[in-house]
Amino acid sequence: MSTSTPAKQGYAMPAEWQPHEATWISWPHPEGNSFPGAYAKVIPAFVKMAEALAHSEIVRINVKDAEQEKQVRGLLKGAPPERLEFFHIATNEPWCRDHGPIFVVKKDAPRLAAINFGFNAWGYKLSPFEEDDEAATHMGNKLGVPVFEYEDFILEGGSVDVNGKGTVLTTESCLLNPNRNSHLNRSEIETKLRECLGVSQVLWLGDGIEGDDTDGHVDDITRFVSEDTVVTVVEEDEDDPNFQPLRVNLELLQSMSLKDGRPLNVLKLPMPARIAREGQRLPASYANFYIANTKVLLPVYHDTNDAWAASVLKEVFPTREIVPIDCRELIWGLGAFHCLTQQQPAV
């Protein structure tokens, strides 16, 4: 691949609500680290996610081998078979948002490209992760698109969110964490984001939510829903550890302007009640929704705030079906639908 940056070649990352050709997911393995003792319990959520996506667009599924492909095909009886495409790309864990490539597009050929960032399992929190680190390049190669290699820059897809108009949101707690890019300072990280994602403005939030082992991914707290609007989670219980960091983030967002000077429009999403397992707080959040072509997949938790969260998203995505899927088991893996998916833009 050319040493010229994606941005210099005219590439940029589209917003998630722009048209997709496909959504990629990576199917989990019983031997993985993400769902200790609960693998069988999370499969129903994976099935519902994949089937809902297949009624919206093509679903490209990474599996280990032909045997796993056969098993997964047998599970997805409710999906149109012509919308399912399987790729024998081994992964350690199922979090395709973070180990998959970020796809970027430009106006002239080749219109689609993939970026392979370095992956170190969220600051060396899980091992092994070598297959995850290689997955993005394999995915781009399977598609036959150019792959930009940025192995020296650790970046997970869940740590950034773009509006498709030159602005990216991220968090200090993740991107400035020395367990990612200790050789880069804040200014150098901003330069990398501009070079890779084709953005010209970087907006920084502070901390993420309690229980998030990614050190505070933005896709668990604040999401663009249009070029000038975000939804951001707020905690109403002042005694909850999430109350203060989420209030700080809300105040930051309310003070932000877009690059053209317009103030950022900020809508509030509730938080579900605390969910814990084996004494561990889990990062349950309504912000981890995924925007497909015709649907929005919303993680829900059998909580009184489920309906409120769905109503907020229906207001901002009136033409899309809001699909609530129970994530009380899935969240044991410390992520939900946005963490599990990676959109491939239509070109």
**Helix H or strand E encompassing 291:** strand 290-291
Q: How many residues does the chain have?
A: 347
Question: How far, in Å, CA of 272 to CA of 29, rounded?
Answer: 28
Question: How far, in Å, CA of 284 to CA of 336, rounded?
Answer: 8
Q: How many helices (H) and strands (E) does the chain have?
A: 11, 18
Residues 6+ apart with CB under 8 A from 260: none
Question: How far, in Å, CA of 209 to CA of 202, rounded?
Answer: 21
Tokens of 188: 């150098």
Amino acid at 74: G
CA 100, distance to chain mean position in Å, is 10
Residues 6+ apart with CB under 8 A from 167: 199, 200, 201, 202, 203, 224, 258, 259
Question: How far, in Å, CA of 167 to CA of 198, rounded?
Answer: 9
Task: Assess contact for 343 and 60: CB atoms under 8 A.
Answer: no
> Is the torsion defined by CA of 64, 85, 101, 299 positive or negative?
negative
3-state secondary structure of 277: strand
Question: How far, in Å, CA of 335 to CA of 28, rounded?
Answer: 13
339 is catalytic: yes
Question: How far, in Å, CA of 147 to CA of 130, rounded?
Answer: 18
**Catalytically active residues, by annotation:** 339
